[in-house]
Structure 1
Amino acid sequence: MSRIRQKNQDLIIEVASEQFATHGYAATKIVDIAKAAEIPKANVFYYFSSKDKLYYAVLQTVTQPLLEASRPIEELSDPVEALSQYIETKLRISQEHPHASKVFANEVMSGAKALPDDIGAELFKQSQMMIDKFATWSQQGLMDEVPPQHLMFTIWAATQTYADFGWQICNVMQKDELDAQDYRQAAEFLTQLVIKGCGVKSNA
């Protein structure tokens, strides 16, 4: 893919992410995206032939990183290192893809009616892998006997809230936006909360 084509696609996806996050899928029109991106509507259709395909591309910008984020849990045998890397990565996704994260959250809250089947299937497969790994660590004595599903839900909620409820968090912290230090501090705190709260032990 040429650099110009990639740059144009990235611009359209970025603007579309903000439009979908602000107005929702149904209320967002291609003409509004084109206007916000300051490009002709025809250019949007040139790169994305329909609103559905553009919406899919927006979802991919956050769901693909989310799917890849669990790789440490799947591949590493040390739960302390795996959970540390997972939480740090999840927060980085909230930092780097705030609008797409909101689009994904809105999609889930509305019943995932427009979520492509392949993305839904991959996310379900990922969740089952994580649940099984948490249960295995508990059986091995590397973690307290905690409900694995609820541990997963807690990590999701704690990390994704920095994107999905960004306005509220910035308002409480009296900032226009969070900086890198805020995300590092959040990662350190949440990691310690999970590790100490669930009795996670290192096998290294």
Structure 2
Amino acid sequence: MAKAKMSEGSVRQKNKAIIFNAAKKEFVTYGFKGASIKRIAERANIARANIHYYFQDKTDLYQQLLSNIVEIWNRDYDTLNAELEPKQALSAYIRAKVMHSKDDPDSSRIFASELIHGAPVLNEYLNSDFKEWLKSKVAVIQTWIDKGLIDNVNPHHLLFLIWSSTQHYADFNVQVIAALDKDAMSDEDFEGVVSSLTQIILKGCGIH
């Protein structure tokens, strides 16, 4: 019985992941208002009824997609720990954020679009769980400052700088590749981004 439930849960998780990936492309291309369940189903190569099995409507799908994006970010891109040396922690965080822009740019673009439009879906999250998460990371940075491990920088603005500089390569990729006179950024290019941003940000914090 337990195995059957686990199997059912795995199938559900797999199917929702397929739908989420298709929905990302649709929302990035057409925005929330222009997106359609019909095209999402076509992108996912599944029946439209299968989407409605997991999601009530387009709004529910969009809300769950945003929640999934935030959950993954908080789980997989969180290296800011007071027990780690700031050089190690910040370097890992910068790398993780840059590689997320490389591997999953659509998530970053959808999140950015949501905020640009006033965060109608994420407003509650931004004023609750996000604030608690941010408070914990500010406390980590402040601990490093108090110990003399980094310069007395504003923790909030340090985080804003990391977020904006790393996500720039997803949100404004068209501008980036035009500026660099490329058709697309290579793996080597992204490694160069990691190296440059790490050097600039760590030096700005007084870390050598």
TM range (shorter): 0.7 to 0.9
**Alignment partners' CA distance in 2, 1:4 and 1:71:** 28
**Alignment partners' CA distance in 2, 1:109 and 1:181:** 31
Q: Is 48-57 or 9-18 further displaced after alignment?
A: 48-57
List aligned pairs for 1:189-204, cutoff 5 A: 189-200=196-207
List aligned pairs for 1:129-140, cutoff 5 A: 129-140=136-147
* Alignment pair present for 1:157 and 2:129: no
**Alignment partners' CA distance in 2, 1:138 and 1:75:** 11
**Alignment partners' CA distance in 1, 2:37 and 2:132:** 33
Contact 1:61 1:97 in 2 (8 A): no
Give the match for residue 79 of structure 1. Answer: 86
1:106 deviates by 0.5
1:97 deviates by 1.5
TM-score, structure 1 normalization: 0.86
* Alignment pair present for 1:19 and 2:18: no
1:5 deviates by 4.8
1:137 deviates by 1.4
Sequence identity percentage:
34
List aligned pairs for 1:178-197, cutoff 5 A: 178-197=185-204
Give the match for residue 55 of structure 1. Answer: 62
Letter in 1 for 2:177: C
Give the match for residue 171 of structure 1. Answer: 178
TM-score, structure 2 normalization: 0.85
Query: Would the alpha carbon gap of residues 108 and 90 (structure 1) be closer, same or farther in structure 2, given more than 3 Å must change?
Result: same
Contact 1:143 1:199 in 2 (8 A): yes
1:141 deviates by 1.0
* Alignment pair present for 1:42 and 2:60: no
* Alignment pair present for 1:66 and 2:70: no
Contact 1:70 1:126 in 2 (8 A): no
Letter in 2 for 1:164: D
Secondary structure class of the residue paired with 1:177: coil
Give the match for residue 4 of structure 2. Answer: none
**Alignment partners' CA distance in 2, 1:139 and 1:152:** 17
Q: CA RMSD in A?
A: 2.2
Q: Is 117-126 or 89-98 further displaced after alignment?
A: 117-126
Query: Would the alpha carbon gap of residues 41 and 119 (structure 1) be closer, same or farther in structure 2, given more than 3 Å must change?
Result: farther
Secondary structure class of the residue paired with 1:24: helix
* Alignment pair present for 1:106 and 2:126: no
* Number of residue pairs aligned between Structure 1 and Structure 2: 201
Letter in 1 for 2:62: Y
Letter in 1 for 2:30: H
1:52 deviates by 2.7
1:155 deviates by 0.4
Secondary structure class of the residue paired with 2:120: coil
Contact 2:150 2:206 in 1 (8 A): yes
Q: Is 77-86 or 165-174 further displaced after alignment?
A: 165-174
1:86 deviates by 0.5
Give the match for residue 146 of structure 1. Answer: 153
Greater length-normalized contact order (CA 8 Å, ≥ 6 residues apart): 1
